Amino acid sequence: MADVSGLKRGKILVGGSSSAASSFLPVAVQTFKSKHPGIEVVLKIERSESLERKLIEGELDAAIMGRHPRSPVLKAQSYREDEIVAIAPPHHPLVKRRSVPLNLVARQPLIANGTDSYVRQLVEKRFAELGLPYVPALEVTDQMSGEAIKSAVASGLGIGFITKCHVLSELRAGKLAALKVPDLKLKRTMYFVVHKKRQSSLLIRTFVGFLKTAEPPRES
């Protein structure tokens, strides 16, 4: 007990959605472990629905989720907001345009997440608000759908929609490009989530506190 309270030893099970896992969470976990070498951190990547269930059942100690949890036994704190962007191959003709109307994007082949994806739900809602059809040419439903969407877009199969933090490295490397779509206007909030009965744990509080102070990824 003394070792755990002093953060010399211990284990924490952390969950992350695919967007968090592909951008900042693995680096943050490694940095935390370097500061607390006696603490074992196990990172599990799942969809938000699965993360919520595992938090409730005690299979995870904390998670970063891409939507607010539904269960009242979980406590969520807003962590950061990130833009949802339309991505295209770097040589796509729309990339050169200073402004791309969403109705023009709607005429392109669209690559979409599965219908249970929160990003897809937000994008579909925005299309509907503007009276535009949303008819995907390709639908990706696997757990790591973000990676599949990036690969499909890079291969020239169409335009995709993705959380910007998920694609920063590809944008910086010039492998993908973000279209300038002023009327998209979508952001996604990520949340720290813990079980209310376990939120007083010093280990969990220390880890969550560390993530709050960790520098989030930014576009260069």
What pLDDT is stored for residue 201 in this prediction? 83
Q: What does the alpha-carbon distance between residue 153 and residue 1 come to, in Å, rounded to a whole number?
A: 51
- The region of weakest confidence among 66-80, 129-143, 150-164, 203-217 is 203-217
Specify the pairing of strand 74-88 against strand 159-163: antiparallel
| Residue 215: both structure tokens together | 């520098």
71 half-sphere exposure, CB direction, 13 A CA radius: 17
Q: pLDDT digit string (tens) for 74-87?
A: 999 888 888 999 99
**CA pair distance 136, 193, nearest whole angstrom:** 32
| Residue, of 156 and 81, whose pLDDT is higher | 156
What share of the chain in percent tops pLDDT 70? 90
State residue 204's pLDDT score.
85
Percentage of the chain modeled with pLDDT above 90: 48
pLDDT tops 60 at residue 14 = yes
pLDDT band at residue 113 using 50, 70 and 90 as cut-offs: confident
Residue 45: pLDDT band with limits 50, 70, 90: confident
Give the distance from CA 173 to its chain's centroid: 20
pLDDT at position 190 over 50: yes
Is residue 61 over pLDDT 50? yes
Model confidence at 216: pLDDT above 70: no
pLDDT-wise least confident of 12-21, 54-63, 126-135: 12-21
pLDDT at 8: 66
pLDDT at 130: 96
Residue 3 pLDDT > 60: no
pLDDT in tens, 97-106: 999 999 999 9
Q: What pTM, to 2 d.p., does this model score? A: 0.75
The tokens describing 150, both together, are: 């990036």
Across the chain, mean pLDDT equals 86
